[in-house]
Structure formats: structure tokens, C-alpha cells
């Protein structure tokens, strides 16, 4: 059985965390678009690649 610390070091855990972060950023993107920011402003503010947002 893995300890919590060992589980946090697995590739699966890292991938899940990254996926969660990406989903959170995309939710923010939608909110910022609704506020009238341009795609370029959002990409710059969130340090994203245009391909990730588009």
C-alpha cells in the first residue's frame, strides 16, 4: 500500500494535478472572455499558449 507521500510522487498523481490545473485555467479563460478581455490579453495574463485556449 502506498503512503500519501509516495502517492503524490507518482506520475498518475502529477498528471491528475496538471489536468486539474488546466481545467481551472480554462474556466478562468471563459470568465475573462465574458468580461471582455481579448484572447491575447488572457493568454498573456495566464501564461498560456494560444493553442491551449483556442
* pLDDT of res. 5: 78
What mean pLDDT comes out for the span 30-50? Answer: 91
Q: Is the pLDDT of residue 45 over 70?
A: yes
What digits encode the pLDDT tens for the residues 22-37? 889 889 999 999 999 9
- Runs of H (alpha helix) within 1-54: 4-8, 11-34, 39-46, 50-53
Where do the structural domains in the chain lie, given as residue ranges?
Answer: 24-54
Q: Say what the pLDDT of residue 1 is.
A: 65
pTM: 0.64
Which of the residue ranges 23-27, 37-41, 49-53 would you say has the lowest mean pLDDT? Answer: 49-53
Amino acid at each position: 500500500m502506498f503512503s500519501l507521500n509516495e502517492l503524490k510522487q507518482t506520475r498518475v498523481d502529477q498528471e491528475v494535478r496538471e489536468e486539474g490545473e488546466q481545467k481551472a485555467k480554462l474556466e478562468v479563460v471563459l470568465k475573462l472572455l465574458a468580461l471582455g478581455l481579448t484572447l491575447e490579453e488572457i493568454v498573456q495574463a495566464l501564461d498560456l499558449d494560444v493553442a491551449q485556449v483556442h
